[in-house]
């Protein structure tokens, strides 16, 4: 078990947040809290998020 909670526990608690919060989870399997070795996964998630939020104003992929 993770000291921060299981994915189901985290989903349960974030479901209590107002809908306007638009929570999205990214669970990185087999990584510790430092996320060592997950740089590519995290960077990809950040780029995807910025593309959704900023649309055409954000284009790092050319």
pLDDT in tens, the chain (62 residues): 566 788 999 999 999 999 888 888 999 988 888 889 999 999 999 999 888 888 877 777 66
For the chain, where are the E strands, in sequence order? Answer: none
Backbone CA torsion sign across 28, 31, 34, 35: negative
Considering the domain boundaries, does residue 19 fall inside one?
A: no
Residue 11 inside a domain? The answer is no
Is 56 a member of any domain? yes
Q: How many CB atoms lie within 10 A of CB 38?
A: 17
> Do 11 and 27 form a contact (C-beta atoms < 8 A)?
no
The answer to whether position 9 is within a domain reads no
Write down the pTM of the prediction: 0.68
Q: Does residue 6 sit within a domain? A: no
Which residue range is the domain that position 49 belongs to?
Answer: 24-62
Whether 50 is covered by a domain: the verdict is: yes
CB neighbour list of residue 29: distance below 8 Å, 6 or more residues apart: none
Residue 59 lies in a domain: yes
Nearest to 7 by CA among 23, 21, 28, 22: 28
Residue 1 maps to a domain = no
Total domains in the chain come to 1
């Amino acid at each position: 078990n993770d000291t921060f909670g299981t994915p189901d526990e985290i989903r349960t608690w974030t479901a209590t947040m107002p809908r306007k919060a638009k929570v999205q989870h990214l669970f990185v399997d087999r990584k510790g809290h430092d996320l060592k070795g997950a740089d590519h996964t995290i960077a990809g998630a950040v780029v995807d998020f910025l593309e959704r939020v900023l649309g055409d104003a954000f284009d790092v992929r050319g």
